[in-house]
Copies of this chain bind each other. A is one copy, B any other.
Amino acid sequence: MRIVFIGAGNLATHLAEACYAAHHEVLQVYSRTLENAIILANRIGAAPINDLSQINPTAELYLFSVKDDALPDVIEQMPQTEGLWVHTAGSLPMNIFAEHHVNYGVLYPLQTFSKKRKIVFDAIPIFVEGSNAATSHQLEEFAATVSGKIQLLSSEKRRFLHLAAVYACNFVNHMYTLAAEIINKEDIPFEILIPLINETASKITTMTPSEAQTGPAVRNDENVMEKHRALLMDPEKEELYSMLSKSIFKYTNSL
Contacts and interface: CB of A to CB of B under 8 A. Distances in A.
Interface of A: 10, 67-69, 91, 110-114, 116-117, 119, 123-125, 149, 153, 157, 159-180, 182-183, 185-186, 188, 190, 192-201, 203-219, 221-224, 227-228, 231-232, 236, 239-240, 243-244, 247-248, 251
A234 to B, nearest CB: 11
Contact of A214 (B114, B176, B200): B114
B201 A197 contact: yes
Nearest to A154: B186
Given A111-B195, A204-B173, A186 B211 contact: no
Contact of A172 (B123, B197, B247): B197
Nearest to A231: B163
A247 to B, nearest CB: 6
Given A91-B228, A174-B251, A182 B204 contact: no
Contacts of A157: 186, 188
Complex copy number for this chain? 2
| Residue among A68, A183, A199 facing the most chain B CB atoms (10 A cut-off) | A199
A195 B125 contact: yes
A183 B207 contact: no
A110 B162 CA distance: 32
A176 B194 CA distance: 17
Given A171-B175, A200-B173, A190 B208 contact: yes
| Residue among A153, A190, A209, A231 facing the most chain B CB atoms (10 A cut-off) | A209
Contacts of A205: 194
Nearest to A255: B177
Given A173-B213, A244-B171, A251-B174, A179 B165 contact: yes
Contacts of A231: 159-160, 163
A95 to B, nearest CB: 15
A114 B207 contact: yes
